[in-house]
Chains A and B, each alone.
Chain A
Amino acid sequence: MNMQSPGMTPERLSNLKRLEAESIHIIREVAAEFSNPVMLYSIGKDSGVMLHLAMKAFYPSKPPFPLLHVDTTWKFRDMITFRDETAANLGLDLIVHTNQEGVEKGINPFDSGSSVHTHIMKTEALKQALNKYGFDAAFGGARRDEEKSRAKERVFSFRDGNHGWDPKNQRPELWNLYNARVAKGESIRAFPLSNWTELDIWQYILTENIPMVPLYFAAKRPVVERDGMLIMLDDDRMKLLPGETVQEKMVRFRTLGCYPLTGAIESDAETLPAIVREMLIARTSERQGRLIDKDESASMEKKKREGYF
């Protein structure tokens, strides 16, 4: 046994090592306890870290669950390319689900508004996919530091048969003991990155050299200023409004989603260290770039009650 000599203070695990170990524990626990888990893969940096941790958790085996991407059909093209490459490189099953009813009804972020678009093409689409495949657990990359209602959410977050979350009736969660019991139709959303902060995420990406979608890095991109945000013209479905002009700007994205709803920031950060540097001096938190959270106060809690991730 590798005993510590008396009087010697064992060095504590570093913050990142402790986070990494905790996440791997959570991921393994889900794989071991549920019969049909799935990992929500949104292609962003948090998903990238979560997937990286899943690869580590089961090495030399592959993660014993597929990836699921809910495609609203409005994601950046770079994201789709990156998604397919990642799944192929890692040899993982990737399920892509789109709400076809929504597509047929012509739901889109421009005419339907961000709130309706998000509800039908994301929240409803996710529920459809979970029901279709009968998943009893779904990993998400959400962090508690992102938003106030997230701060109270459990690592194993219970969802009723309608995928609803009841913030006032959450299961107590102690130590690293997670209650994985669900009845038929009910499910658990599992959040392995609960205790990570945005800075932790970037530091880990830098340390581990995890591949990221190019959109996170600054480049000259065509953007339009709309509602105080810089929206990138990713394809010709975006029509210019009167008075709008397309500008080429050095921009990058702090979060990724549907391109018409995701604001770019002007930046020169073309490398990971430059992004971390920018992070450290940032005066604006990451969700500023997302239109959907601005719709109403406490909007995230409302959406989550309805089944939003």
Chain B
Amino acid sequence: MIITKKKDFSKILEYLKGRDRVYLFGCNSCAEQCETGGEREVKAMAELLEKQGKKITGSSIPDETCYSMLIKKHFREDKNAIEKTDAFLVLACGAGVKAVADAAGDEKPAFPALDSLYLANVTRYGHFFEGCSLCGDCVLGETGGICPHTQCPKGLLNGPCGGMANGKCEVNMENDCAWILIYKRLKAQGRLGALKRIASPKDYSNGVKPRTVVVESRIKK
């Protein structure tokens, strides 16, 4: 799940200065669960903008706003409203903003209403924990499924830093030191040998942006 948080409303008004007819996009997937871009939030945003004298030309909450084809289809289906629009405001992650911006093309701008934060585990209802950085060079096999690149603020790969105190992290003493968690799990599994091997520097060549994947078997011939 992609975690998002609302931008300041003042920033949104700055984006929409001189653009009075606004079309809203939410997202019924991640942003809905974060309560940043579901039906309720889109409705609330529409009301706030109307109070500022904006006209809402339409709104949509696609199942997954990151599906570019789905957004393009929606643009075709709601053509009339979209023609009367000056700008799009997207209550979804950055991938959703890109999908809308690409569908809108070169003439009309799309703006983000949210900041995209991280890929999360849902640890409890409404609790989102950052457990993976999508780095392209996974080390979880050697670290008991706990990512040092993500859970250690320094991304250290060979054990705790000198700032670890009583198993806690120097950067935020409320957090457990990732390396102590890794150590405890590997020890319990009888795999401390994995900790004793020197881990090589990370290979960032897999992470050169932008990354694209094409699943050949899914291409319609």
**Do these two chains interact?**
no
Interface, chain A (partner B; CB < 8 A):
none
